[in-house]
A and B are shown apart, each in its own frame.
Chain A
Amino acid sequence: MKLKLLVVWAIFIQSVVVHCKEMDAYHESVTMDVINNNKLYSFFNFTTIWDFSDKFAPHHYNLFPRTLGELILKYQVAELHFTMTQGLWRNHQWGLPHASAPTGAQLWVWFDGNTVDVDKNWIGFTNALSGLFCASLNFINKAVTVTPTMSFFPTGAFEGGYPNNKFLRYGTLSRENLCTENLTPWMKLLPCGSRAGPASLLNPSQLHHSRFLSIGIHFMTQCQSPDCLKTFVELQQHISVVFDIGSGTHQDFTLRSLFLHLIKPACPLASTSVIKFKVPSDASISPPIKKIEEFYLVQNLFELTSDTNYKVKLNKQHLETIHIPEGITSHCFPTGLGLEGGLRCSLVNNLPKNVTVVFFQVVPWFLYTQLHTLKLETESGHRIQPDIVNFAPAKIRESPHKLELVFMLLAQEVTVLNIQFTRGFQTWTEHPPDANHGYYISPACLTIPTVELGNLSRDHSSKVQRIFSEALLITIPVPDFSMPYNVICLVCTVIAVAFGSLHNLTTRRLQKVSPKHKSPLKKKIDWLLEKICKKALDQEKNPSDTR
């Protein structure tokens, strides 16, 4: 087991990336990808690097946001990954994202190796973060939190080499919506806010008219040298947004038509500031961009003198292209009706080779999941034996079920994972408002080594890619909170009363008892007493008789 884990670690863990020595720096960029000729995927990336001589200095914050820095110090956070997402990243149409995120809020944190009480810090940190981002992260309580073993290794340097997962906490809230109130504090963390550079495009009201919107914050420690004696910290802020670029005849777009804003010249504090376009080869951009880097047209924003509106003209011949899914996709859905239910994921591997993946799924405690029902087979009926099965059953109201599997996705095959559960009951006070809406099972996560995906991956800097499937809305038995509930109570009472009297009438033997008669029991007792007394008297009178 330990050996297998080490193998997984070797495949999936981020190797120590060596960065050249950097001073405090701020890099901003926006990448615009035209997908399928009908969607525009814009990915904004803002990286703040803080290089300090020996220790994270609490006194002097330069570019690094102080609000976040203080929390990180107080709760001994070594690595933080927080995303909030509206909508679903549709892998089979859009390919892999630059930064993947599940629907709703997701938070995973590695705490310092010398943290004493990880759980206490975790609860404190989620509460503080929920205050910072105006999100309901405080609902990530112990009934939601898990400690994954293989899916979420640190992405930066970690003290002591092989990380001990007792310092890791992971929680998701699938029902959490991303609103402007979360976006505003997120933008405030940027050195220039939304006043300059790519961030000037971020217009909250327009961002919400999109197909997919995700914000993310990733904080980690990086090594400066191979021996990792010196480190610096890095804060990445992402925002991904997917727009429909018109429909029918209006396929061309401009920055103004999508964002309602023009792009402003670079933030003066930035070290680098670029806008990149990836458009079909027959499309044209005006004003034209000359520089090309890895399929991208790149424009340095420092070279802009005034606000610019880029216009992209697409070739109309490609409008009806049907995209054939490539790479690896996952589609999960709940099965069954009534109290019995289950979870089924069909994992499609369209690559020409077998790929080892880590499958990770958290199931709420009130869905009693049974490991023996776990079935893993291809659609053609070939059974797959997982290399590692890591299952932690739930504790009622304490912790959720955690299922982590390592197995091989066969080439050009659909692998179907099946697990059954029984829907449990919650007490009537535990139901949230709108109880009849249902409950969410958080998205399953598929972790795949980047090397296996090759060119399909948009993000080559991290060693693994994560594919999240849909959040699943399921219903569990809900008490009837309204009027019919009272009716049922009433009817039951009436039935009970009627039944009681009927039962009484049918089973009781009716007979006449004259009022003079003593009750039989009393009679018996009297008679017994009398008899005993009589005998005793008789014995007293002539004791010789008994001998």
Chain B
Amino acid sequence: MSGLKKLLPRVNKICILLYFGGIVGFLLLSHEGIRENCYFSENALLPGLVDSKFSASDDQIHNINLDILDPNSEVTDELEKFMLRVGLEVYRQKFTFQEKFVGNARIQNGTNIYGIVRAPRSASTECIVINIPILNNKHNFGMGIVLALAKEMRKQFYWAKDVIFLFTEHGSFGARAWLNAYHGIVSYPVSANQLPARAGSIQSAFTVHMEEDAVSFINLLVEGYNGQLPNLDLFNVAVRLIKIHGMAVSVNYEFVPRQSSAMDDIKSHLGATLKMMKKQVTGTSSGNHGEFIRHGIEAITLQTVYNPQWGNAGFVRLGRVIEGISRSLNNLLERFHQSFFFYILPSTDNYISIGMYMPPLGLMLAAAAIKALSLILEANYVNSEETDKNKETKKDSDTKESVEDIDDILKDMGSDYASKENDIKNSEAPPLQQILITMVTSHMMGFLVFYAPVFTETWSQMFNCPQDISITLLLVTVHIAGMFIITSYRLTLEGGKSLYVVSLLHQGILFGVVAIINFSLGMFLAVCYVLPTILLQPGYMKFNLLRKFVAFLVSPLSIAALICLYTCNGNPATVISEFVNFHVTVYEQSQTQQSWLFDFIALLLYPLWLQFWAITSSEGKILT
């Protein structure tokens, strides 16, 4: 115990050390010695074991694309015609959706079209989905390839799962409409018609996204909604097959560096890691595959990239890759359940698993926890020292009467209550009441932020400004109003300290839980918040203004502003529009894509931050 006591004055140093230790640990994750090489857990996949049977030529595929591009008719009609001609079962689905909530909010229509290749010997209990988004103003050249593939599949006898060729309109809305109808569920803001036919439980899926009629390399998109990721085995299959067929593959446009120095190696891997995490923080998906993952189906997007300097690998190779992935998925006996669901990718060949990336975060969160703990211990020591002193003074005047002795003992036991009684005398309310009032108020403010966008239209009419500006104004106003409301209730020093302990623990738990679901978001928040909050300890009157500044710097509003400053690349003229755009985007994504970022900030992060804000304006005394 005395050892602990000696450590107490140094706790700030320990916490800062832990914080930076966590950051360094995280940066080292991309190091050669720590990151691990990808491998296959699921033996049934057997990628590339069979010979490719894909026999269509580049010209044939090109002709199919030309057929579908027929300017005189709808793409969906051409697709339907072609699939019927090659003997697929073809069905249509109509759906409506709302794309925008701020500004021009109207209901739009869309059509999905899908063809099913029935596996000859199966009873349509399982299937694979190949999704080809119909791009709004461009042609998806992947159509020609998959249709050529469908034509051949129809005659092949080794398919054990039905294969659905799904052409969806309007990006993720179409995919969601189709998947919702497939599973008989409804989710706002998409409403979809019933599907006339199905093919059993969808085991896996992938999306082909090809904007140009040539391909240099394939970029794999993995990020799903709210930090969801496809099973690492599916990613491995795609990487392996693309390599087998002689194409280059990247993830987030990062390639595996060739023979580079240790420094360059860690730089490029760390760069790729951070790029992936940047995408994940937003909680949105990078492609249609996100909708599949949301519905419990492992999925990935193959996005082709063409760069004339790199040359053209041709349709046929991509066709073989698609065929190869389908055949690997066809081999599966069970759903994807092995390998990793939680990982980050420093390159296409390496991964960092949850077991590796959690400890650095744990170190950072431990810093906050230790800080809280130290305050509790300190309070205890102060209490016990006081009672010790009392005891000693009493002992001097003590007689041998045993009855008084017992009084003393009883007092010892209840010293807790005794000291609290003293506090009550000193202030208006006990710390517990102060904590409760502040926490409840801050969470109420969170609800206000959450529901503020409801009044967007009213505000835009009131102030005669566009809706995107009105929603930003609303959010900023409520945010700032919250700051004043929370500080209008003055915390005492004791209350401030208690709330500080509670808030530190609250923060640790919140970030820890978020990191389990969406590591990137958890890490980002820990980096932003842990160090400033450790330094916010109430009681140092000297630095009060500085503390307030630090606290304000990490408010959701300031972070948003800082991000906008960073993204506008030093062009200050665009900062305001960027800032408005940021708010609109975050809100729209929460509405249309059910990303949790806005909800999380409004309902959890903002109240937490308000608590720290309240602490900075609690009464303090100058320590001597």
Which chain A residues lie closer than 8 Å to B333 at the CB level? 434, 437
CB distance from B48 to the nearest CB of A (A): 23
Hey, what's the 0/1 contact readout for B356-378 against A, CB within 8 Å counting as 1?
00000000000001000100110
B295 touches A337 (CB 8 A): yes
Cβ of B338 < 8 Å from any Cβ of A? yes
Cβ of B12 < 8 Å from any Cβ of A? no
Cβ of A322 < 8 Å from any Cβ of B? yes
Cβ of B87 < 8 Å from any Cβ of A? yes
Which chain A residues lie closer than 8 Å to B194 at the CB level? 346, 379
A520 touches B381 (CB 8 A): no
B122 touches A511 (CB 8 A): no
Given A336-B183, A470-B200, A475-B201, A436 and B409 contact (CB-CB distance below 8 Å): no
CB distance from B188 to the nearest CB of A (A): 15
Cβ of A374 < 8 Å from any Cβ of B? no
B200 touches A473 (CB 8 A): yes
Cβ of B62 < 8 Å from any Cβ of A? no
Which chain B residues lie closer than 8 Å to A280 at the CB level? none
Number of interface residues of B (CB under 8 A): 51
Given A209-B157, A505-B377, A472 and B335 contact (CB-CB distance below 8 Å): no
- Point out the residue from B155, B198, B296, B335 that lies within 8 Å of A333, measured CB to CB: B198
Cβ of A113 < 8 Å from any Cβ of B? no
A523 touches B409 (CB 8 A): yes
Hey, what's the 0/1 contact readout for B153-181 against A, CB within 8 Å counting as 1?
01101000000000000000000000000
CB distance from A104 to the nearest CB of B (A): 8
Binds A, one of B69-77, B123-131, B141-149, B584-592: B123-131
A88 touches B124 (CB 8 A): yes
Cβ of B621 < 8 Å from any Cβ of A? no
Which chain B residues lie closer than 8 Å to A331 at the CB level? 196-198
B87 touches A473 (CB 8 A): no
Please, which residue of chain A has its CB at the minimum distance from the CB of B120? A211
Number of interface residues of A (CB under 8 A): 55
Give Cα A344 to B198, complex, Å: 12
Please, which residue of chain B has its CB at the minimum distance from the CB of A511? B384
A247 touches B87 (CB 8 A): yes
Cβ of B312 < 8 Å from any Cβ of A? no
Given A346-B194, A470-B124, A520-B413, A436 and B337 contact (CB-CB distance below 8 Å): yes
Taking Cβ atoms with an 8 Å cutoff, the residues of A that contact B are: 38, 85-88, 90, 103-104, 174, 208-211, 244, 247, 320, 322, 331, 333-337, 342, 344, 346, 379, 434-438, 440, 470-475, 478, 480, 482, 487, 502, 505-506, 509-512, 520, 523-524, 527, 530
A38 touches B87 (CB 8 A): yes
Which chain B residues lie closer than 8 Å to A104 at the CB level? 123
Give Cα A482 to B334, complex, Å: 14
Instruction: Show 23 A/B contacts (Cβ-Cβ < 8 Å), sorted by A.
Output: A208-B121, A209-B157, A244-B120, A320-B84, A333-B182, A333-B184, A333-B198, A335-B185, A337-B296, A434-B334, A436-B335, A471-B123, A473-B126, A482-B41, A502-B369, A505-B373, A509-B384, A510-B380, A510-B384, A512-B384, A520-B412, A524-B406, A527-B406
Give Cα A424 to B157, complex, Å: 37
Taking Cβ atoms with an 8 Å cutoff, the residues of B that contact A are: 1, 41, 84-85, 87, 118, 120-126, 154-155, 157, 182-185, 194, 196-198, 200-201, 295-296, 333-335, 337-338, 355, 369, 373, 376-377, 380-381, 383-384, 387-388, 402, 405-406, 409, 412-413, 416
Give Cα A472 to B380, complex, Å: 62
B380 touches A337 (CB 8 A): no
- Point out the residue from B84, B118, B184 that lies within 8 Å of A342, measured CB to CB: B184
B155 touches A87 (CB 8 A): no
| Max count, chain A CB within 10 A of own CB: residue among B121, B198, B377, B388 | B121
A336 touches B184 (CB 8 A): yes
Give Cα A435 to B333, complex, Å: 10
Given A331-B198, A379-B194, A437 and B335 contact (CB-CB distance below 8 Å): yes
Give Cα A511 to B387, complex, Å: 9
A511 touches B338 (CB 8 A): no
- Point out the residue from A211, A337, A470, A510 that lies within 8 Å of B381, measured CB to CB: A510
Given A336-B185, A470-B200, A87 and B387 contact (CB-CB distance below 8 Å): no
Give Cα A346 to B195, complex, Å: 10
Which chain B residues lie closer than 8 Å to A512 at the CB level? 384, 388
A436 touches B334 (CB 8 A): yes
CB distance from A212 to the nearest CB of B (A): 9
CB distance from A26 to the nearest CB of B (A): 31
A320 touches B85 (CB 8 A): yes
CB distance from A517 to the nearest CB of B (A): 9
B120 touches A511 (CB 8 A): no
CB distance from A334 to the nearest CB of B (A): 8
